[in-house]
């Protein structure tokens, strides 16, 4: 992509900066902003040209739908047909890290929807994201603010690494609280179907909705952002470790980084140990980028323990970042 370079400003997300960001969005430009999950690359969700810019800047496949961010359930009703199930889930988990897929209204162009008849909708809980939606007065289409396939950005510096020179403004709201993307649920029928694991766990969904299914079939999976293409990968290979000894030579030689809960199983150059699975999830993408900058040649990542509520989402990101490669 031969885009002309822009001057990208990183500004603290105070009231004047949010107003500037809203003006840029209304003029058809893109702005990066914080949410509780990861930083988003936002544009006017009612403007097909803004959607085209998002796909171009990210290098994102155009059949990969964008999440439309709104400020309330009432606003969601303006962009999608909110089923009884969708309303029940949104009342339980919004604002927060849950995206519902519902039949789309025509106000959202097909470019935003990846050519589908459904739309993915979320109400974030981060105050900066909500302030930006309010100031803009339009729903905001926003995938993660990184180049497609890269680890999602959880702070403003990570956005700058990937998108500096490609967008005019990054709102700096500090590090993200969750660190993994939202859970995406198909809510077009009577039973929720998890299309992507994320910040709301399967057990939390069961507590509200009872029966919960997981994705089955390519056609259903198409409805969710971030499920069918390679995602979350640093520039060096990631190897999954599920226990047992590891020959460090089998990881390709050179410096090796490690991220996980337990002591690394072999000598590594840099290790990030989380206290629990939620911290592991929150620190995963930041750790990937930190180890890249340190010049490691491979990253060893511990598989999260089975049975932890956040483990499904974390394992999903690890598996796709590694391409299924294992160590040991």
The annotation places the binding site for L-threonine at 37, 69, 122, 142, 182
CA angle 99, 208, 97 (to 5 degrees): 25
The annotation places the binding site at 37, 60, 64, 69, 118, 122, 142, 144, 152, 182, 196, 232
Interatomic CA distance for residues 183 and 86, integer angstroms:
13
Instruction: Bin 188: left if φ > 0, else alpha if -120 < ψ < 50, else beta.
Output: alpha
Topology classification of domain 9-221: DHBP synthase (3.90.870)
Distance of CA 8 to the CA centre of its chain: 22
- In CATH terms, 238-322 corresponds, of 3.40.50.980, 3.40.50.11030, 3.30.70.20, 3.40.50.2300, to 3.40.50.11030
Q: Which two tokens stand for residue 103?
A: 């039949």
Q: Which of 310, 293, 284, 153 is nearest to 235 (CA)?
A: 293
The annotation places the binding site for ATP at 60, 64, 118, 144, 152, 196, 232
In order along its 328 residues, the chain shows pLDDT tens digits of 445 578 999 999 999 999 999 999 999 999 999 999 999 999 999 999 999 999 999 999 999 999 999 999 999 999 999 999 999 999 999 999 999 999 999 999 999 999 999 999 999 999 999 999 999 999 999 999 999 999 999 999 999 999 999 999 999 999 999 999 999 999 999 999 999 999 999 999 999 999 999 876 555 556 666 655 567 899 999 999 999 999 998 998 899 999 999 999 999 999 999 999 999 999 999 999 999 999 999 999 999 998 888 999 999 999 999 999 999 7
Domain residue ranges of the chain, discontinuous segments joined by +:
9-221, 238-322
Cα-Cα-Cα-Cα torsion 312, 317, 320, 322, nearest 10 degrees, comes to -110
């Amino acid at each position: 992509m031969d885009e002309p370079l822009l001057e990208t400003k990183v500004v603290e997300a105070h009231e004047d900066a949010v107003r500037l960001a809203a003006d840029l969005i209304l003029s058809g430009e893109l702005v990066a902003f914080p949410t509780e999950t990861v930083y988003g690359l936002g544009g006017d969700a009612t403007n097909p040209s803004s959607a085209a810019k998002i796909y171009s800047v990210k290098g994102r496949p155009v059949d990969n739908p964008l999440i439309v961010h709104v400020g309330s359930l009432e606003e969601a009703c303006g962009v999608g047909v909110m089923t009884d199930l969708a309303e029940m889930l949104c009342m339980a988990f919004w604002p927060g890290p849950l995206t519902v897929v519902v039949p789309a209204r025509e106000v959202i162009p097909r470019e935003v929807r990846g050519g589908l008849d459904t739309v993915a909708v979320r109400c974030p809980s981060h105050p900066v994201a909500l302030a930006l939606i309010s100031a803009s007065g339009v729903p905001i289409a926003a995938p993660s603010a990184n180049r497609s396939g890269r680890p999602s950005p959880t702070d403003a510096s990570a956005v700058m690494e990937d998108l500096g020179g490609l967008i005019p403004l990054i709102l700096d709201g500090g590090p993200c609280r969750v660190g993994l993307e939202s859970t995406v649920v198909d809510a077009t029928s009577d039973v929720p179907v998890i299309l992507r694991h994320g910040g709301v766990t399967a057990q939390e969904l069961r507590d509200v909705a009872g029966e919960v299914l997981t994705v089955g079939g390519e056609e259903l999976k198409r409805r969710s952002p971030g499920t069918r293409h390679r995602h979350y990968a640093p520039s060096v290979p990631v190897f999954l470790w599920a226990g047992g000894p590891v020959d460090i030579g089998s990881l390709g030689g050179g410096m090796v980084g490690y991220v996980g809960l337990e002591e690394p199983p072999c000598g590594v150059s840099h290790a990030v140990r989380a206290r629990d699975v939620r911290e592991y999830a929150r620190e995963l993408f930041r750790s990937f980028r930190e180890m890249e900058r340190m010049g490691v040649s491979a990253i060893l990542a511990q598989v999260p323990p089975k049975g932890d509520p956040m483990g499904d989402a974390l394992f999903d990101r690890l598996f796709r970042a590694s391409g299924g490669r294992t160590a040991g």
